[in-house]
Amino acid sequence: MTRIRFQQSLDELKEKLLVMAGLAEQQIQRAIESYRVRDLTICDLVDRSEQAINRMEREIDQAALDILAMEQPMAIDLRFILAVIKINSDVERVGDAAKSISDRVRVMEHLASIELPVDIPRMATLASNMVRRALQAFIEADAELARAVLSMDDAVDGINRAAHSALSALMAAESQHAPQALTALMVCRSLERVADHATNIAEDVIFWVQGADVRHQGSLNQN
**Least CB distance from residue 71 to another protein, whole Å?**
8
The footprint of another protein on this chain (CB under 8 A) covers a number of residues equal to 13
For another protein, the closer CB: 9 or 183: 9
Burial (CB < 10 A; 0-12, 13-18, 19+), residue 186, is middle
For another protein, the closer CB: 72 or 217: 72
Interatomic CA distance for residues 57 and 210, integer angstroms: 25
**Least CB distance from residue 74 to another protein, whole Å?**
4
**Least CB distance from residue 154 to another protein, whole Å?**
28
In this structure, are residues 105 and 31 in contact, taking their beta carbons and an 8 Å threshold?
Answer: yes
For another protein, the binding residues in 56-85 under the rule CB under 8 A are: 72-79
**Least CB distance from residue 69 to another protein, whole Å?**
12
The dihedral sign for the CA sequence 163, 164, 169, 175? positive
Look up residue 78 and give its DSSP letter.
H
Show the site string, 1-20: x = touches another protein by CB under 8 A, - = not: xxx--x--------------
Interatomic CA distance for residues 65 and 49, integer angstroms: 24
- Positions touching another protein (CB under 8 A) are 1-3, 6, 72-79, 211
